[in-house]
Amino acid sequence: MNSATDTLAKVSLENARILVVDDQPINIQVINQILGGSFQLRFAKSGQEALDICLSDPPDLILMDVIMPNLDGLTTCKIIKNTPNISDIPVVFITSLQKAEEENACWQAGGIDYMTKPVNPLPLTNRVNAHLTQKFQADLLKKLAYLDGLTGVYNRRYLDDYLARQTSQAKRTNHAISLLMIDIDYFKQFNDEYGHLVADDQLKLTASTLKESLHRPTDIVARYGGEEFICVLPDTGDEGAKHVAELILKNIRALEIPHKLSPHKYLTVSVGTATIEAKQNYNTDLTALADKNLYKAKNTGRNKAI
């Protein structure tokens, strides 16, 4: 990797979140003493509790005991590996089991590593560092494959995947989800008047302004095509979506980018909003609905959100 990638991986490693799953408090205390000063640790005393944490706030790495009541470590790992939103979380088994067939069962369940109790501090720390580094490098490469080459925001490929996952999550938890479709007004005229290089610069500036207008880590902006962008706002109802849309309009206007061929004299955007409220029809096509409202905004004066 290059130096920029190395730096990114290092920063991520310093803020890594580890979930420790063990039904024995003494084992949790031992791992906390070894790793607590270097990483953000969370703890679960059962397989079900671990699954709940993974689904609500996925960790970067899991240290999992094998023998636990009700839902054991092997079964919990298999569920994780078969759940799309969390399947890429690496699981390291830490167990008192030492037979070859017991170790093999850990690998077959989807574990990335296997350590026996009592844990040795130095090997545990080294293995955790190695697995986290590998995880963050893979995440970074995946992220680069999902970025739009010109604007640096997410591309259409990532958008389609993210929207599907978040809609599924909203349906599972009975939460709202919203989508904004943003189009730069009179951009063809801007391109013709000021040239492709200037137009590309304004696309980049618009994209970064959209990104800065979103304040939650789960809110994303992606380039939909040409001068169109989409923002996905999980756990956001109609009122919240309209608030974000108005903030976007305000922030774009504040750039005061001259556009003499626009009736507004500056570069502006139009926004179409779409929302599935909690416990409503999650089969609604948010993109189509936002596109319909964007069409209304553009045909009633532009520089507005509907």
The residues carrying an active-site annotation are: 227
Nearest to 249 by CA among 265, 228, 271: 271
Other residues' Cβ atoms within 10 Å of the Cβ of residue 107: 12
User: Of 3, 1, 91, 8, which is closest to residue 50 (Cα–Cα)?
Assistant: 91
Which residues are registered as beta bridge partners of 20? 43, 63
CA distances from residue 150 to 8, 28, 64, 95, 160 in whole angstroms, order as listed: 21, 47, 42, 48, 19
Q: State residue 36 phi and psi, 5-degree precision.
A: -60, -30
The Cβ-side half-sphere exposure at 234, using a 13 Å CA radius, reads: 20
254: its two tokens: 């504040």
Residue 305's closest CA among 263, 261, 243? Answer: 243
Q: Are 266 and 167 in contact (CB under 8 A)?
A: no
d(CA 289, CA 291) in angstroms, rounded, equals 5
